[in-house]
Amino acid sequence: MRNTAHTAGSRPAGAQDEASSARAVRDMFDRIAPRYDLLNHVLSCNVDRVWWWRTARRFRQILARPETRVLDICCGTGDMTLALLRRRPAQAVKVIAADFSPAMLARAAKKLPPDRATILEADALHLPMGDASLDLITTAFGFRNLANYQEGLAEFFRVLAPGGQVGILDFSEPGGLVGKLYAFYFRRVLPVIGSRISGQGSAYTYLPESVAKFPSPPAMLEMMQAAGFTDVAWTPYSFGIAGLWSGMKPRR
């Protein structure tokens, strides 16, 4: 069943507040980092590569400008960042790849060219950037894990310059027959495979639970509008299994 409630944010099992939620999520990603890429590709049948490519294509015009200042927050091991870099001119301003999991960033550092990307340990709810200092923010499968969605959107809005854009790629819950098949796979099959490959069963039990609690596409669009974004839109990928929420900070 779709979640239409404006939930405050992620709450892993045992977390009592936002601070403990953030710690639990960071610790979880540190633990699964060694097998994260393999599991992503196996569990998505490599469709995740298409989702990153489509997201980067959506922002191809702003990425093509050498002076564009880009942040890929919750970058994980850097796959979304790599997709963005493929759309960047050779001499463009470096893309900032940020995450609050040191283990994830260590793997991103092995993938990302140091002359084209800057790796930064940072919390999405407390970005170490000045007001109006960025032109594009992307996040792939990370926003859902924030301890407070409203605060995350407010922080994105703060650091974007007028006319800046945001792209949030994340899972959703499709309806109809596809939704039923997806729900069975996501809630019954995926946790078993994820547990066996990673040895971290709780992480892959958390994944479907976090998607079920995540705001529906219409609710997310409402939250983005409430945060101040305009031209908000949701583009479904793969029958709505995933999708891209996009928006713009109004120009002065």
Q: What is the crossing angle of helices 102-111 and 36-44, to 10°?
A: 80
Encode pLDDT of 73-115 as tens digits: 999 999 999 999 999 999 999 999 999 999 999 999 999 999 9
Centre a 10 Å sphere on the Cβ of residue 194 and count the other Cβ atoms it contains: 24
Q: What is the pTM of this model?
A: 0.92
**DSSP H or E run through 212:** helix 201-213
Which DSSP symbol is given to 5? S
User: Which tokens sit at 31?
Assistant: 């633990």
Gap between the Cα atoms of 187 and 182, Å rounded: 8
Encode pLDDT of 187-232 as tens digits: 778 777 777 766 765 667 787 888 888 999 999 999 999 999 999 9
The mean per-residue pLDDT over the stretch 104-128 comes to 97
Return the sign of the alpha-carbon dihedral for residues 100, 106, 109, 111. negative
Please name which of 244, 248, 247 lies closest in space to residue 83, comparing C-alpha atoms.
Answer: 244
User: Which tokens sit at 189?
Assistant: 């099959």
Ordered by where they begin, the domains of the chain are 18-248 (3.40.50.150)
Gap between the Cα atoms of 203 and 10, Å rounded: 13
The whole-angstrom distance between residue 244's C-alpha and the CA centroid of its chain comes to 10
